[in-house]
Structure 1
Amino acid sequence: MSAHSHDLRSHPHPDSPLTLKRSRTTDKLMPIQWFPGHMHKARLEIQAMLPKVDVVIEILDARIPYSSENPMLAELRGNKPCLKVLAKSDLADETMTATWQAHFEATAGVRAHAVTTEDVPTIRQLKLIAARMVPHREGKTMNAMIVGIPNVGKSTILNYLAGRKIAKTGNTPAITKQQQRVNIGDGITLLDTPGMLWPNVHNVNSGYRLALIGSIKETAIDYADIGFFGVRYMLTHYPERLRERYDLDSLPETELETIEAIGRKRGCLGKNNQVDIDRASRILVTELRSGGLGRLTLETPEIMEHEKARTAAEIAEKAEQATQKDAKRKKRFRDQQRAKRKSREMN
């Protein structure tokens, strides 16, 4: 959490939880924070149960494989085998999904597998893949833990693995609220966990990607902000998708011009024939989430390596600034103490 973090058990302040907006004073993108009490509880429970788990099954969104990872999980699981499941792969760019699979599997002890809820047999194969990752458990009961961020499809996958309805499903975040043990057959006991984001999304772009795919509650996002972010990426990586979907004669050069062009095409006009930016942005975000703009992936391994390096540098810079600020505070305190002692001596 930041230096001014609030109590983890309390409800988030309206301006702090994954609220995607710009600073009122600097116009800079603000760091994103989101750690409701049940997620803090889930982290502690996962940490306590991991020693008894043989393999971790992490459900990711194939459109944002890195941003839908939980870096806290990597820290907690250590060297424990991990099967990364790229869910909703029918909405993602097929070429990029293969690239991400190869990227993940370059790490020892990690396998990656793409699935879609339309292909139930492929989902059920996950049990066999997970079992092969822990050959020393052959013939014995295997304990697996399934984890994933909110709204990634974890509950749907769990139900298919079990062959019956075990978990609630829905198109909104935070459906699962507590752990449960499920016998999914083939000698596998699965521990289900609540969808969990991490305490502080230092990479602001990852926060925007999470908002774009719907992993953040509607009340905590600004559609215009995430719409601009989505358009910026589309203009660079999938420009023709925008032109074809919204029947644009030519592609505008800026995000604002693009949103306005979409708004005019879809009749999002208000007073004085001005485009309603919020309505136009909602249309873009809704159609991007549903696949209306085609199969797309919102990040690449190269992009993420660049962003990780930049974010690490920013974190280090903030830490240095905090250290310097603390040193100055301590110096002021010492100076004040010396001044008081000197004053007492003179009197």
Structure 2
Amino acid sequence: MAIQWFPGHMTSARKKAGEAMENIDVVIEVVDARLPAASCNPMIQELRAHRQRPCLKILNKADLADPAATQAWLDYFNRQPGVKAVALSCKKASDVARVPGLCRPLAPHRNDNVKPLRMMIMGIPNVGKSTLMNALLGRKLSAVGDEPAVTKSQVRGEIDLRHVLVDTPGMMWPKIAYDSDGYMLAASHAIGRNAVIDEEVATFLANLLLARYPTHLTERYGFDIKGMDGVAVIEAVAKRRAMRLKGGGLDLEKAALVFLQDYRDGKLGRVSLETPETRDAMLAEHARLLELRKQEGPRADAPLPAEPPTDE
């Protein structure tokens, strides 16, 4: 199943963000530290490039991500021109307090009471933009919720005389190019449930964890994972938690939701769904399959696989 999700208000949000960026000095792009590349919206890069705006890239929810993978991503992003990357948790006051100071060197010409630093918070839904906005302002201006696309309009506020903030609605892009990105985004709750089948998303996540973090599953659920695939993991969760339908069969939909929520809440341990290396492997495999399709001709119309690349 190819996952696509682009609510109508996001077209308007993109247009307004492009217009507002003319009067912005620094873009603060918030991504999910567990899937930093998959949660980067390519439209934000396009808007930044057009206006030549520097970027503070915040890998939020770093307390839920694998520290080694996070460091690899910081090294990766900090090699990009015009980008400063930092890993933090927008729920920690000490982390949030660092943000204005990290932005100032990116726009040294706006560093006084006459010319306040103007910052715009951008990112896909449900990565913590509004949480960051409210924490920086010390008051609630942006709606916060555990559902994607809670914020639907721009919100402006002043931190102090030297710092102005604009929060934008979470923006997806019209077409998710890679199936595995769609599954990672859905697993991390950046995509509305109406666009996904929870059991398929949970199976994808279980396969990924079996490949990269198998002991996390055993530690959380207490079952032996030997010989299991993703489907078997969800079945085992259902059995372990006594999730059954009225007829006695396993309630796999409920088990899938519990499994996904455990991941989202960090109960499966510190997990990263991608690293720079696995990202490169996925892109290379995708390019290989596309080339095979070209060689085989128009009848090769089967969807590309969404299985995550292993570390082998």
| Residue ranges of structure 1 left out of the alignment (5+ in a row) | 1-21, 23-29, 326-347
Aligned to 1:44: 15
Does the aligned pair in 1 maintain the 2:214–2:225 contact within 8 Å? Answer: no
The whole-number CA distance in structure 1 between the counterparts of 2:160 and 2:240 is: 52
Q: Judging changes above 3 Å, is the alpha-carbon distance between structure 1 residues 283 and 101 closer, same or farther for their aligned structure 2 residues?
A: same
Aligned to 1:175: 150
How many pairs does the alignment contain? 295
Structure 1 residues 114-144: Cα deviation after superposition (integer angstroms, max 9, x where no partner): 1214420221210111011111223222221
Aligned to 1:281: 256
Aligned to 2:122: 147
Q: Judging changes above 3 Å, is the alpha-carbon distance between structure 1 residues 46 and 317 closer, same or farther for their aligned structure 2 residues?
A: farther
Aligned to 2:54: 81
Deviation at 1:316, TM superposition (A): 7.9
| Aligned residue among 55, 72, 78 for 1:99 | 72
| Structure 1 moving runs of 4+ over 4 Å | 310-322
Q: Judging changes above 3 Å, is the alpha-carbon distance between structure 1 residues 123 and 51 closer, same or farther for their aligned structure 2 residues?
A: same
Between 148-157 and 180-189, report the one with greater CA deviation.
180-189
Deviation at 1:186, TM superposition (A): 4.9
Does the aligned pair in 1 maintain the 2:5–2:192 contact within 8 Å? Answer: no
Structure 1 residues 45-79: Cα deviation after superposition (integer angstroms, max 9, x where no partner): 12222222211000111111111110111112114
Show the 5 A alignment for 1:1-347. 22=1, 30=2, 32-78=3-49, 79-139=52-112, 140-270=115-245, 273-311=248-286
The whole-number CA distance in structure 1 between the counterparts of 2:193 and 2:247 is: 29
Q: TM-score, normalised by structure 1?
A: 0.79
Specify the code of the residue in structure 1 equivalent to 2:275.
T
The whole-number CA distance in structure 2 between the counterparts of 1:179 and 1:118 is: 21
Secondary structure of the 1:136 match is coil
The whole-number CA distance in structure 2 between the counterparts of 1:211 and 1:316 is: 28
Does the aligned pair in 2 maintain the 1:243–1:251 contact within 8 Å? Answer: no
The whole-number CA distance in structure 1 between the counterparts of 2:202 and 2:227 is: 15
Q: Judging changes above 3 Å, is the alpha-carbon distance between structure 1 residues 39 and 312 closer, same or farther for their aligned structure 2 residues?
A: farther
C-alpha RMSD over aligned residues: 2.4
Does the aligned pair in 1 maintain the 2:125–2:149 contact within 8 Å? Answer: yes
Specify the code of the residue in structure 2 equivalent to 1:227.
A
* Structure label with greater radius of gyration: 1
Deviation at 1:215, TM superposition (A): 1.2
- In terms of fraction of residues, the more helix-rich structure is 1
Secondary structure of the 1:189 match is strand
| Residue ranges of structure 2 left out of the alignment (5+ in a row) | 300-312
